[in-house]
Amino acid sequence: MERAPQAEAFAASWIERVRPFLIELYVLRRRIATIAVILLAASLFVHVTFGANGMVVYKQKRAEYQELRNQIGQVQQENDRYTQQIQGLKTDQTAIEKEAREQLGYAKPGEYVYVPPKPAPAPQNRSAKK
């Protein structure tokens, strides 16, 4: 029976010797967990910002989309102009006459057709090729 108090004393001394280590282990574990969460959040932020479908790519694609929409609008306007011109050439006699006079150089009696001279070719500088 004398051994029970000795065993209790040994257990108490063992716990007192191990307690600082356990506290250090708990603090270390919390620091590691905090660092892991910070690294995870930072990597998630980088992925969301610069990843394959991140904000940077999203803004670039949105700008490209707007540019393409503008181009579509311009092409549609040009297409409408051509459609009106074709319709005019099919039905309007004055439009047909105007087009023939411009493209073929025809003139009515008493009119003069002005044909501008072709521009002179630019002189080539051979010293620039060296």
Residue 73 and residue 67 in contact, taking contact as beta carbons nearer than 8 Å: no
pTM attached to this predicted model: 0.48
Of residues 60 and 18, more confidently modeled:
60
Residue 63 CA to residue 88 CA, distance in Å, equals: 38
Please enumerate in sequence order all residues whose Cβ is within 8 A of that of 85, keeping only pairs 6 or more positions apart, or say none: 95
116, exposed or middle or buried, with CB in 10 Å at 0-12, 13-18, 19+?
exposed
pLDDT at 127: 65
Of residues 113 and 37, more confidently modeled:
37
Give the model's confidence band at 1: pLDDT under 50 very low, under 70 low, under 90 confident, else very high. Answer: very low
